[in-house]
Amino acid sequence: MTTIPDTSARGLMVRNVLCVAGYLLLLLSAYFIAKNLSAKLMIAGLVTIAVSDPTLLRERLPRLLEWGLAALAGFAAWTVLGLLVNGIPLGPASDAVANFALLAVALLAGRRLLACCGLRFILGALFAVASLSALLTLVLHFGAGLSLADRLVPLGRPSNSIPGAGGLCIALIGIVALLGDRSRPAAPATIALVALAALPIVVAVAMTQSRGPILATVVALAATRLPWRPGGWRLTGWRLFAVVLLAWSLTTALIVIEPWLRAMLCVDQSNFCRPSSRQQIWTWVFEHISQRPLLGFTPVFRFADSLFNHAHNGLFGTAMYFGVPALVAALAMTFVYCRHLATVDGGLSTFCAAALIFSFGYMGSDLPNPFSFVNMHFFFLWLPIAFTLAGRSEEAATGSD
């Protein structure tokens, strides 16, 4: 008795519907639903996207994606060693290791999503949902009697101004990358419509008063105008890696000189002039790194301070949680990733490079653990990585013969 292959036209249509539904669930839960319920629905969306792949567990993954998964497995093994050495209880230790499995699902989901929907749909839907979320956030903010000067907290998974701003910023970066695609120039009416839809995002991000994400967005958008200019500055792995580190360095440096900037520019400590307290936190971070430089304190560690309980810097946090060798390995893999990204053509390279630049700029003031539980960094860090590692997208769309 013969069976109908999974790659039949009807089967593929059902799988594509599941993929799109999973992506919409991921977006809506991330940008409109708060905290734990949002996280559960986001995971459900990622799993739905991943299992809709007709090649999953049937064919070999692209080699680059295999390497990406192997790198995650290596970090997971290193984390397990740190958890054992530090004597972390089984419950928190299991949660820390499970995050790596979730990141593996995100990489598989990103490959399938790119194959099923294409980058234009992915970024267009992201922008539309983010715009609606920002608009509703503004309505609720002013409806509650708050003013322009009151710090805004965007709707969605983070329930926090900084990661909420990060989620809105990557939507803005994505639509700019699409509009900059010279192979498909946008009509003036489309540009006007996008500008109108971008307005609530820009206003909401400004009202979050999140200086790190704002600076990271400016650097990322400015950088995307350099490598892809015809006949101009050519993107290479070294140049992209340098810009990525520059984005992180700028955010970090501005925090270091923050007291002098506030003394020159501010008359009080409100709004954008509020103290970030990052310098005090980083003093604690460096003290802890010096105590356990090899394996770190593991990602379950938190400072006793109720307001500032983590490292508030991606590179410093990686060294503190996973050890200095893990930070060196992460930077080495970032360089290898940059070299590969420089070989990718078209709008995909523009967006993914901008997302990486933004991510490192963002990590200059937040995201102490890039391998942490599902949140908005999945949109600006891990899904773009998955898109870059995806290989030939048609394999995950139809299966290969």
At 266-307, the pLDDT tens digits run 888 888 898 888 999 999 999 999 999 999 999 999 998 777
Residue type (1 letter), 117: C
Higher pLDDT among residues 167 and 184, named by residue? 167
Residue 343 pLDDT greater than 80, yes or no: yes
The chain-wide mean pLDDT, for the chain, equals 91
276 vs 109, more confident: 109
pLDDT of 7 reads 55
In this structure, of 212-216, 259-263, 354-358, 369-373, the range with the lowest mean pLDDT score is 259-263
pLDDT at 2: 39
Enumerate residues 6+ apart whose C-beta is below 8 A from 383: 106, 109, 110, 113
What DSSP string describes 111-137?
HHHHHHHHHHHHHHHHHHHHHHHHHHH
Residue type, 99: N
Answering whether pTM is above 0.85, one says yes
In this predicted structure, what is the pLDDT of residue 270?
Answer: 84
Q: What is the pLDDT of residue 232?
A: 45
Q: Is it the case that residue 4 has pLDDT exceeding 50?
A: no
For 227-276, the pLDDT digits (tens) are 444 444 456 789 999 999 999 999 999 999 999 999 899 888 888 898 88
Contact 151, 143 (CB under 8 A): no
* pLDDT band of 40, cuts 50, 70, 90: very high
- Helix, strand, coil % (nearest 5) of the chain? 70, 0, 30
Region 6-10 average pLDDT: 69
Tens of pLDDT, residue by residue over 86-108, are 999 999 999 999 999 999 999 99
Exposure string for 227-259, b = 16+ CB within 10 A, e = fewer:
bbeeeeeebebebbbebbbbbbebbbebbeebe
At residue 398 the predicted structure's pLDDT band, cuts being 50, 70 and 90, is low
**Apex 130 CA angle, 170 and 386, nearest 5:** 45
Phi, psi of 81 (to 5 degrees): -60, -45
Closest CA to 351 of 325, 379, 330: 379
DSSP assignment of 193-235 equals: HHHHHHHHHHHHHHHHT-HHHHHHHHHHHHHTTTTTSTTSPPP
Whether pLDDT at 397 is above 70:
no
In this prediction, residue 394 carries a pLDDT of: 47
247: nearest Cα among 365, 328, 346:
365
Give, as one character, the DSSP assignment of residue 389.
Answer: T
Tokens 């983070």 identify what position?
158
